[in-house]
């Protein structure tokens, strides 16, 4: 039977104690997509959305979300992240925006949840700003592309 790190011997949920872990440089990169109608994508690309610059608002929201992850995810450690980046690229053929976040720090626990949260909230912000044009937008394919640092070492998605 696997020992669950977030449960004590009596099965109660707990925050993992990372006090004895070694501080290392930790980086996580996460990707995601939001699909939409062609005319919605064109509005975003041409900065013609009445609520303002969609991608800059989504970038700010994503970075802010990375910094607030421990307020949203139970038992997630509050981290003093040193860097958060959220970038976008257009997939005109598939009427989508690709979102990528990178979060890093030097610390005792990883930043995967912070990068996942950044991409998720950036996508939600795009949806929120464009829903009056396109309620059928679809957020998908949010996944960990890579992580480095810590005892488990490097991971790269295949």
Averages of pLDDT over runs of 10 residues in the chain (158 residues) are 65 75 93 98 98 98 97 92 98 98 95 98 98 97 96 92
**pLDDT for 3:** 64
Provide the residue ranges of all domains of the chain, joining segments of one domain with +: 24-149
CATH number listed for the domain at residues 24-149: 3.30.70.640
**pLDDT for 16:** 74
CB atoms within 10 A of CB 53: 13
Residue among 3, 17, 128, 141 flagged as catalytic: 128
**pLDDT for 4:** 61
**pLDDT for 9:** 77
Tokens representing residue 50 in the block: 């009445």
Sheet holding 96-107, edge to edge: 83-91, 96-107, 24-35, 138-148, 155-156
Q: Assign 105 to helix, strand or coil.
A: strand
Verify whether residue 128 is a known catalytic residue: yes
């Amino acid at each position: 039977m696997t020992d669950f790190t977030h449960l004590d011997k009596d099965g109660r949920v707990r925050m993992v104690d990372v006090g004895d872990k070694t501080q290392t440089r930790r980086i996580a990169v996460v990707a995601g997509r939001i699909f939409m109608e062609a005319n919605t994508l064109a509005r975003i690309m041409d900065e013609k959305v009445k609520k303002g610059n969609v991608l800059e608002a989504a970038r700010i929201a994503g970075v802010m979300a990375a910094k607030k992850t421990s307020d949203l995810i139970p038992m997630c450690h509050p981290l003093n992240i040193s860097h958060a980046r959220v970038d976008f690229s257009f997939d005109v053929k598939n009427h989508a925006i690709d979102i990528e976040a990178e979060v890093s720090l030097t610390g005792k626990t990883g930043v995967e949840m912070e990068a996942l949260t950044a991409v998720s909230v950036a996508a939600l912000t795009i949806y929120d700003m464009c829903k009056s044009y396109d309620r059928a937008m679809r957020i998908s394919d949010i996944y960990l592309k890579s992580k480095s640092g810590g005892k488990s070492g490097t991971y790269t998605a295949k």
